[in-house]
Structure formats: C-alpha cells, structure tokens
Amino acid sequence: MKNVSRCSAGECHKITNQLRLSISREEIAVLYQEDAEIIANRQVADFIFEIDLNVPKIANCAMPGQFVQIKITQSIDPLLRRPFSIFAADSAAGKISILYKVIGKGTKILSKKCSGERLNLLGPLGNGFDFSAQKCSGHLNILVGGGLGIAPLVFLAEKMKSLNNKILVLYGVTTAQEIVCIDELKKIDCELKIATDDGSTGFNGYASDLLADFLCANENNDFKNPYIYACGPFALLKQVHRLSEQYCFHGQVCLEKMMGCGLGVCLGCMVKIKNSGAQTGFSYQRVCKDGPVFDLHLVDWKNEKVS
Amino acid sequence: MNLSVDIGKLKLKNPVTVASGTFGYAEEFADLLDLKSLGAIVTKTITLKSREGNAMPRIIETSAGILNAIGLQNEGLDNFLKVKLPLLKLLGTKIIVSISAENAADFILMAGKLENAGVEAIELNLSCPNIEYSMDNNSPQSGTGQKIKIFAQDCEAVFSLIKALRKKTNLVLIAKLSPNVTDISAIARSAEDAGADALSLVNTFLGMAVDIENCCPKLANITGGLSGPAIKPLALRMVYETARVVSIPVIGMGGIINAADALEFIIAGAAAVGIGTANFVNPKVSLEIIKGLEDYLQRKNFADINQIRGTLKI
Ligand SMILES: Cc1cc2nc3c(=O)[nH]c(=O)nc-3n(C[C@H](O)[C@H](O)[C@H](O)COP(=O)(O)OP(=O)(O)OC[C@H]3O[C@@H](n4cnc5c(N)ncnc54)[C@H](O)[C@@H]3O)c2cc1C
Ligand SMILES: Cc1cc2nc3c(=O)[nH]c(=O)nc-3n(C[C@H](O)[C@H](O)[C@H](O)COP(=O)(O)O)c2cc1C
Ligand code: FES
C-alpha cells in the first residue's frame, strides 16, 4: 500500500527515482540512516519494552505500518539489523517510539540499553497503511491486532482519528500480563475489545474470534460492511482472511518476514501476491519494500506458511 | 593521492565495488549514500528470462554471516535493459552488469544485447550455487535433489565458455568464481587463458543450517551460500592463491566490513574489492572504506593504492 503522501502510479515512481538519482539526494529523500540517541527504554509488560529514540528525520516522515531497521550492537553478533514497526512518531519532538518483545539475542541486548546510548537506524522503511478517504470513510474501521501487532495499529488509529473515522479495535494477547498501549488507545476515543488466550481478562479466545462475533452480530445492520486493518501472528491474519471471504469485507494486512536488508535488495523477505491486470496467478513481492502492508485479498494465504 | 585502479579497460575511480546481489540495481540505496563515489556498482545477476527464484525461507542469519538461497530471482534481461539500465547510466560511476545463463549461447546472446545497449563490462556469474544443472539435459531447476554442477567447478567448462564469449564481444569480461572447488587457482588460470579481463572472487560458500525444534533445514532449498565476516579468512586465502598465479586483476571479496579487511585483500593481491553482506548492515560502509583506504595511504606515505597491491611479505 502506498501511503497517501507518496506517488502511487508506477510511472510516477520511475520519475521520482530518476530525479533522486540525478538531482539532489537530500531534498527528495524518503529514507534516512540516522544515529539515534536513546531517550528512554523501559519495560511496559512481561518481556515487552518501549524505546523512545531521537531521530528527527525519520520522525518527520514516518507513517503507520512503516518500520525501522535497528543495528543493535556495533559488533558482528548479531550481524544483521532488526526490523521493528513504528509505534509512534512525534515530528515536533523529533522522536519515534517502538514497542518490542524480548525473544532472542538482539532484543535481549536492546532491552539492556540505557538512555543516552546510541543506536543506528534506517527508516522509515516500506509502505504504510492506506487510510485515504476512499479506503476508510463511510465504513466502520476495525483494527485487529495480535500481540505486538497492536503497535502499528495504535499509530494508525491516532492518524485516523484526526480524519474523524469510526474505529473499533480488537486486540488479542496470550495473557493479561502482555497487554500494552491501553492508555494510548483510551486517548484515541475508539471502541476497544480485548481477548486473551487464557481468559485472564476480557474475552477468552483470539482477536479473530472477537471479529467473527462482531460480524455475526452485525450481519444485518449499518456495520455489515467494515474495512479491516490487521497486524499480528500469521495464524490470526489467515483467520481474518477466512472471515473476509465469508462476510465479504476488504482490508489490509501488515506482514512480517525474516529480513536480510530491509531495503529491497536481498530478496530474502518474499511473499506471494496475486498478479495484477490480465495476468493470473501469484508472484513474489518483497515484504520490506513492496509491503509490509498488503491488500488482504491479494496475499497467497493458501500457500503461505507460518514463519 | 591516486586511488584509481584498472580492471582491464575499465578504469575505476577507486578500488571499492559493491558485490552482485547485495546492492540491487543501486536505486534502492540512492537516498542513503552518494552513489557516484563508488568505484563500481555490480548489479544483481540477471538472466535471459525472468526467474522466480527459490521457495521461502531464503535467508538465515548464522554466526557472523548469512546463508542465502535466493535462486537468482530477477526480471530478465529485457526488463533490465528497459527499466534498470537507463537509471544506472545516470549515476556517474562504472556499472558492471552481472549475468548468468545455462549455456554459452545464452551468455553470448545476453552479452551482445548489453554491448549494444552501451554497457562496458559484465561479470559472469559462473558460480551461483543455487541453480542446479541436471546431468542429462543441462537445464537448471531450482529445488533440491539433483547433482549440482556449476560452470565454475569445471576448468574446461570455464575455458570454453569464456573463449566463446571472447570471440564475440569487446566487453570487459570479469569471471566470478566459486569457492566451492578444490583448487580455485586452476579455475582462475582457465579463465585467464580463455581471455577473461579480470576475476572476481569469491561467491558464497555452500552451507546449511538446521532447525532443531522441527528437525528440518532452515532454508527451503536445504543448502545455501554463506557470506559475511564468517567467510573472510577463507576468501582471503583463495584471493591470495589466485592473485599469485594470474596476471589479470582480481576483485577480492568475502566478508569485508571495514577498510582494514579491504586492505588485507589488497595486500594479498587484489586489485579491487567487493563489498557484499556489509551493505545490509551499514549502507554507507563502502564510502567509509574508501575513506579508510585514503587514510591508510597517507599514514603509510604511499601516493598510489596500486603500490600496496600484492605486497605481502612472506
Ligand atoms: C516489518 C517487521 C516489523 C516488526 N515489528 C516488530 C515490533 O514492532 N515489535 C517487535 O517486538 N517485533 C517486531 N518484529 C519482529 C522482530 O524483528 C523480531 O522479533 C526480532 O528481529 C528478533 O530479534 P532477536 O535477535 O531478538 O531474535 P533472534 O535471536 O534473531 O531470533 C529469535 C527467534 O525469533 C525468530 N525471528 C527472528 N526474527 C523474526 C522475524 N522478523 N519474523 C519472525 N520470526 C523471527 C527466529 O527465527 C528465532 O526463532 C517485526 C518484524 C518485521 C519483519
Ligand atoms: C543475499 C545475497 C544475494 C547474492 N546474489 C548474488 C548474485 O545474484 N550474483 C552473484 O554473483 N553473487 C551474489 N551474491 C554473492 C555476493 O556477491 C558475494 O560474492 C558474497 O556474498 C561474498 O561477499 P560478502 O561476504 O561480502 O557478502 C549474493 C550474496 C548475498 C548475501
Ligand atoms: S529484506 Fe532484503 S529484500 Fe526485503
């Protein structure tokens, strides 16, 4: 999904590339490498941290659904950058925030970093959610988030709120201890429903069950035609897609893949997407550059495996 | 101070090139660094027809390296000529187009079209370990099982391919060699004897990784090519052994992440270096390496980078 502020037609893309290559880099850049000072890095839930980073150029143009690639150590262990969705961006303060879960070597090291230390960032990367009026006005917008998939959706909800869109957030976590962003969501003035796998709070089940219940209950009223934005574990997204076939709604999903570069050159982060135009079948597209947000109906859900 | 080096007829303003498959078609990096400062840009390998590449997962991080089995995904030569080449020509640095094919006839056809389109130099990817040539019909198929046979593992195949190309084209021919051989210097000599203008080595080392929870390979292709700092000592040894026995320039690569690494290759005999995996970690790394080379020359009182090539004291 190209976001609204950028060219979307292929031709236009080519021209901007030509300009970018031949005229001035700085003036039309949409991607930056910045040394970030850590403003704060604090635990907000079980194994989950929020880090605030001072990166004025990235903060100035970040859109919901876009991500950054962080070089966590100066050393070669781990070697590669780690991708994280942008959870909040404050262009006035020159700052972005990220929510991350400690799951392995890189995130563990990241969780030990203190304010004042520096990290190198690349971003903003990828195409964010399309929340232009033609996509979301006149609909109920349902944001379905699983685990930290909630992070880009909170950023999206904040942007959408200023457009006066109706928003329902369906948020699923394994257990109550993992819930984050409640304050942010409350501030946004959207309807919020929470599901936990273990029933420790809210509905006992998955975010997709909340969606199924909602769709079933509203089959015959004004809300029967919602527009969905989803981010989270693959199983959740697949379930959302299944429901979209049953209830005929449209939407966008934000995908994750292991990334080599994040810049669109290694071709390691591919997902099969339905061909456009007259061509039938699916072809590989890059999650980092052509995504990470894709049209819900264009992903090859049948052959995509949990990664 | 002179940093320029010659790769055959191709004059590079400095010896730092970016390696095939790690820099796309350069446009992806346009916002991040001044592309015209690079010695040369080697494109992702292109093939005559577009290729879908291998199944996912294709990339796995390992200790100080990455394993990849991309399988030469690309849009094919015609698309490259129409969409990518015009942009590359604007960059103000040397462009080396990496190509691969199943047989000599296709290599020749591609070289001809590229020469007509104004390209100066091509790198022959003889060494991608991810295309498999079945023994009977010599046609590549991505996937598993079949015996792997790549040009760069066979002296005669390398010789006859480059000989055939040399007859048909004036392009600067750079043969990119595979490290997955018993004696790389023998392959290198075959390429030189057949008329290659330069050599580029190494491509990735065949390797694999296992997911112990599910008892399956981590790459869908089972095996892949290892790159990054993990391979540097291995690559350096091969560049050293090759540069000793050929008189054409060698572009050395494998695990270079800073100027000191680059200098090791140059002192061991490389005329230029290729930066691969390091581009993923730090897109500006090549420019930092160029700066580091200048600093070294100054500190050591050399006027010309070519003065330190192959100065290894044994
Ligand atoms: C576009 C994008 C946005 C993301 N946004 C967020 C975010 O906002 N917050 C957050 O906490 N995480 C996010 N992730 C996932 C995050 O990148 C990984 O959790 C992180 O890279 C793990 O690094 P590590 O060194 O701690 O783990 P490692 O030690 O590298 O790996 C630990 C385990 O996690 C698996 N793993 C590692 N990276 C990924 C990945 N990218 N996708 C799936 N499995 C992986 C590994 O296979 C391994 O089993 C995002 C990923 C992508 C691609
Ligand atoms: C993701 C990836 C893709 C690659 N694709 C190509 C390719 O298309 N053609 C080629 O000749 N080499 C390819 N290579 C090999 C590199 O050009 C280089 O020879 C190798 O990675 C060793 O250098 P490094 O350790 O600096 O990365 C690829 C390497 C990586 C990591
Ligand atoms: S991560 Fe390298 S192309 Fe997407």
* In a domain? residue A300: no
Q: Residue A191: in which H helix or E strand, if any? A: strand A191-196
Range of the domain at A118: 32-125
Closest alpha carbon to B71 in B52, B89, B84: B52
- DSSP states of B187-253: HHHHHHHTT-SEEEE--PEEEE-EETTTTEESSTTSEEEEESGGGHHHHHHHHHHHHHH-SS-EEEE
User: To test ligand 2's pocket by mutation, which of B17, B20, B238 has the most ligand atoms within 8 angstroms of CB?
Assistant: B20
Provide the mean pLDDT of chain B.
93
* In a domain? residue A288: yes
| Positive or negative torsion for Cα A31, A36, A38, A41 | positive
Bridging pattern class, strands A67-71 and B65-68? unpaired
Is the same domain home to A252 and A154? Answer: yes
- In this structure, the number of other CB atoms found within 10 A of the CB of residue A97 comes to 20
CB of B244 within 8 A of CB of B227? no
Atom of ligand 3 nearest to the CA of A269: 4
Is the same domain home to A115 and A147? Answer: no
Confidence of residue B133 (pLDDT cuts 50, 70, 90): very low
Bridging pattern class, strands A140-146 and A282-286? unpaired
* In a domain? residue A1: no
With H, G, I as helix, E, B as strand and everything else as coil, classify residue A37. Answer: strand
Q: What is the pLDDT of residue B128?
A: 52
Whether residue B113 has pLDDT greater than 60: yes
Q: What is the pLDDT of residue A218?
A: 86
Is the same domain home to A85 and A181? Answer: no
Q: What is the pLDDT of residue A305?
A: 76
Ligand nearest to the CA of residue A265, numbered in listed order: 3
Radius of gyration in angstroms for the set of CA atoms belonging to chain B, rounded to a whole number: 18
Q: Please name the amino acid found at residue A56.
A: P
* In a domain? residue A279: yes
Is the same domain home to A94 and A232? Answer: no
In whole angstroms, what is the distance from residue A273 CA to residue A283 CA?
5
Q: Which residue, of A64, A91, A125, is where some domain finishes?
A: A125
Ligand nearest to the CA of residue A82, numbered in listed order: 1
Q: What's the CA-to-centroid distance between B23 and ligand 2, angstroms?
A: 9
Atom of ligand 2 nearest to the CA of B21: 5
* In a domain? residue A12: no
CA distance A224 to chain B (A): 37
Q: What is the pLDDT of residue B131?
A: 46
- Ranges under pLDDT 70 in chain A: 1-29, 136, 306-307
Q: Which residue, of A125, A154, A185, is where some domain finishes?
A: A125
Find the mean pLDDT for residues B179-204: 96
In whole angstroms, what is the distance from residue B136 CA to residue A41 CA?
60
Is the same domain home to A281 and A154? Answer: yes
Q: Which residue from A79, A258, A267 is facing B228, i.e. has the nearest CB?
A: A79
Is the same domain home to A38 and A75? Answer: yes
ipTM of the complex: 0.92
* In a domain? residue A15: no
Is the same domain home to A62 and A91? Answer: yes
Looking up residue A93, the CATH number of its domain turns out to be: 2.40.30.10
Q: Determine the residue among B45, B47, B51, B56 to mutate to test chain A binding: the one whose Cβ has the most chain A Cβ atoms within 10 Å.
A: B56
Q: Find residue A82's DSSP bridge partners.
A: A70
Q: Which residue from B28, B58, B281 is facing A265, i.e. has the nearest CB?
A: B28
Is the same domain home to A198 and A214? Answer: yes
Confidence of residue B13 (pLDDT cuts 50, 70, 90): very high
Q: How far is CA A18 from the centre of its chain?
A: 29
Contact call for B32 and A33, based on CB within 8 A: yes
Is the same domain home to A207 and A154? Answer: yes
* Residue corresponding to tokens 């390496």: B289
Find the mean pLDDT for residues B48-58: 95
Is the same domain home to A147 and A198? Answer: yes
Atom of ligand 3 nearest to the CA of A261: 2
With H, G, I as helix, E, B as strand and everything else as coil, classify residue A26. Answer: helix
* In a domain? residue A16: no
What is the number of structural domains in chain A? 2
Q: Find residue A271's DSSP bridge partners.
A: A285
Looking up residue A191, the CATH number of its domain turns out to be: 3.40.50.80
pLDDT tens-digit series, residues B247-304: 999 999 999 999 999 999 999 999 999 999 999 999 999 999 999 999 999 999 999 9
Is the same domain home to A147 and A257? Answer: yes
Contact call for B56 and A80, based on CB within 8 A: no
* In a domain? residue A27: no
Q: What is the pLDDT of residue A306?
A: 67
Q: What is the pLDDT of residue B134?
A: 39
Q: Which residue, of A90, A107, A125, is where some domain finishes?
A: A125
Q: What is the pLDDT of residue B282?
A: 98
Is the same domain home to A154 and A291? Answer: yes
